Amino acid sequence: MLVQPILLHRAAIIEMEPIKDSRGHFSRSFCKKTLENHGIFFDVVQTNMAFNRHHGTIRGMHFQVPPFSEDKIVSCFQGAIYDVIVDLNRESPTFGKWFGITLSAENNLSLYVPKGFAHGYQTLTNNTSIHYMVSEYYTPSHEAGIRWNDKAIGIEWPLKDDLIISSKDEQWREFNTSVDGMILSEGD
């Protein structure tokens, strides 16, 4: 597996290197040692799956606040998503910036999402399955989010029409008010 840093501070793309033969292929999707060699110290405590029936579904932009902030590794094993992260770490040189990438069953890419980042995605196909590993247990009392369409962030979602968004995700506050007063920085 290959680890490629991206423009956002501490975030990275993980590329699985499939070994193929007539039966199909095998890929390593997680290797603690490889990640640590790239400065990513990640202990998996929970794995989650999400299935989305319809293209255009947006889930996000979610995060947990300290002391339950979480690292994530997000992969798409069926269909395709446009995966997006926003750096909410006040001390980061990329604070307030976003990054998006297509993850699909075909491209063998995953996205490493560090603590202090908001995360969300838009499904690009029907019947999409997402798998993600997290470093912290889900703690509803520390769940937070920012609006998926916040003008201050300016995320450019690929699909613009017929969007499916939960009422909960429609009600997250704007970036400037959600982050104000929160301590999201957890160090480098």
Specify whether the CB–CB gap between 101 and 13 falls below 8 A. yes
Cα angle 48-128-76, degrees, rounded to a multiple of 5? 55
Active site residue 54: no
Q: Say which of 82, 112, 121, 132 is annotated catalytic.
A: 132
What is the dihedral angle through the alpha carbons of 91, 92, 95, 99, rounded to the nearest 10 degrees? -160
Specify whether the CB–CB gap between 49 and 141 falls below 8 A. no
Alpha-carbon distance 121 to 103, whole Å? 10
Q: Say which of 9, 62, 82, 112 is annotated catalytic.
A: 62
Active site residue 112: no
- Residues designated as active site: 62, 132
